[in-house]
Chains A and B, each alone.
Chain A
Amino acid sequence: MKKNLLSLLLCAIVNLVNAQIQDDIYSSVVGPNNEPVIFNAINMNSYDLVSSNVQFSKDNNLQKLVFSPFKLLKDIPHPLLRNTKFNISQKNGISTFGVGTGIDNSSAFSKRGDKLFDEMDFPVKRSKRDGESTQEYEVYKAKFNYTLDSLQTTYHKKLLTNSFQLTLAMNTSLFSVIGGDKVDKDNDGLIDNQNTVESYNYSLSVAYAFSERTALSASIHNIRQLADASEGQKRVNYLGVSFSFTNRISVLDRNYKFSDEYKKSLFIPAIFLGITIEYLDAQNNLRFAKDGITRKLVFTPYLDFKINLKNQFRIGVPIQKFESISTEVVLGPYIQWGFSLSNLN
């Protein structure tokens, strides 16, 4: 029931956004799915007004939406409010709700955006001259419009080049059962659904775009997590870090500069190659760690296929290494395929 409600909510928000004016949307080279395994449900790195993400793999199924509703306001609010994002996700039955805010100096409404705009000159379009044929004037207009379009995209490219985004976020994850009578189904003397909050997650992330081609991001996470909802569990404090790098390796449409998607959002149909390193380490209450795992290290090389703004998918191969406190045996590495869709319409 809760899963269905969440799906309906995701659909409703996506449809709402599509019906509204969209503003300063970039084709994110650093998307909200750039921490694909450990922190994928809580990652909120994105330049987008809205980004949705669905991920499939053997142990890692995710539905997620990150939304910045204040970008839709006519009056530009304070940057911290404008950059406020909300996260709704569901991963393996765990629902997560989060809020984040931060700084985004790639915005056209930032001081940097004003400065770059002041520095640019745009040409004037003249009227048809006496004696000039209609055909000659049409050729002049076509050249002028191309120049104007190029300058417009140059401005947005300048905004994106060497820009950064800082995001401070807090997420709360809930167990699949969050109400009802307290029960002890397995008769072990402990209430099975004693707890409702699975984890509290705090994160600080920096995303840096060198250009529309290359970007990186880094995050630190603090997670206080319960292994399960039953009575007697203690929260384990985890410290996590991640690093991600991505680079465009192929452009799928060489004529992208003439497309509306490029003019309006700098979107280039392309394939990106990237890698993410995620690390999670339990700090206390080790015997209560989820699945007994106290340390995780995941390398995920991936290919991002960006077909158009609303159809993108990623294929990743997480190489995972887990450590357990009870056995002190390294369980990995092992490889699994991950498949994710983002910016679904």
Chain B
Amino acid sequence: MTKLFSELNLSQFETGDILKSFQRDLISPQLYLTFKYTPKRKMVFYHLSVKIDGSTKDLLEKNAIKGSDGNQTFFIGEFKKGEEIEISYGVLPITEVPEAIALIGQTNPQEAYQVDPAIPGKTKSLERSVNWENTIKYKIK
């Protein structure tokens, strides 16, 4: 979930600080992970975590996310420029999925990459019940 005014010090702030804090929020790089796959095929996203500075945070709680519309986007978090992170994910195809890819999108500055398969333009074919798991490293631009 996006958090605004995160750097606003409640003990001491003025009107100008509110605007400055808001502007800082807007320029913090935000990272998204998207899975695009053949529509109508059923997928279960059962694991998503991010590791930064040796600490791992799980991004899914209680139940896995189910999808079949061909696009599932997750907000990974806000980061500082130059930070190096590791994103781990696990997906279970409930049906055969002829084509699937994972993409990373970053804001401020806007960047987008295909991360799995690593070769742009190439897609994965997922067999039913064969888990798709991977860990990718990414340096915030």
Binding site for B on A (CB under 8 A): 21-24, 74-76, 108-109, 114, 117-118, 120-128, 145, 148-149, 152-153, 155, 263-264
A148 touches B131 (CB 8 A): yes
> Is residue B42 within 8 Å, beta carbon to beta carbon, of the partner chain?
yes
Report B-chain residues with C-beta under 8 Å of the C-beta of A149: 129
B39 touches A148 (CB 8 A): no
Partner of B129, one of A21, A125, A126, A152: A152
The range of chain B's interface size is 20 to 34
Report B-chain residues with C-beta under 8 Å of the C-beta of A148: 44, 46, 92, 131
Q: B102-135 toward A: CB 8 Å interface, digit per residue (1/0)?
A: 0000000000000000000000010111010000
A107's nearest neighbour on chain B, judged by CB, is: B95
**Complex Cα spacing A127 to B47, Å:** 8
A260's nearest neighbour on chain B, judged by CB, is: B129
A123 touches B42 (CB 8 A): no
Report B-chain residues with C-beta under 8 Å of the C-beta of A145: 131
A264 touches B68 (CB 8 A): no
Report A-chain residues with C-beta under 8 Å of the C-beta of B57: 127
A23's nearest neighbour on chain B, judged by CB, is: B96
B90 touches A21 (CB 8 A): no
B98's nearest neighbour on chain A, judged by CB, is: A74
Report A-chain residues with C-beta under 8 Å of the C-beta of B60: 124
B residues 44-62 with Cβ under 8 Å of A?
A: 44, 46-47, 49, 51, 56-58, 60-62
A21 touches B96 (CB 8 A): yes
B98 touches A21 (CB 8 A): yes
B56 touches A128 (CB 8 A): yes
Report A-chain residues with C-beta under 8 Å of the C-beta of B72: none
> Is residue B27 within 8 Å, beta carbon to beta carbon, of the partner chain?
no
Minimum CB–CB distance from B71 to chain A (whole Å) comes to: 15
9 contacts between A and B (CB under 8 A): A21-B125, A74-B98, A76-B40, A123-B64, A127-B49, A149-B129, A152-B92, A152-B94, A263-B128
Minimum CB–CB distance from A289 to chain B (whole Å) comes to: 48
Minimum CB–CB distance from B120 to chain A (whole Å) comes to: 20
B127 touches A264 (CB 8 A): yes
B95 touches A123 (CB 8 A): no
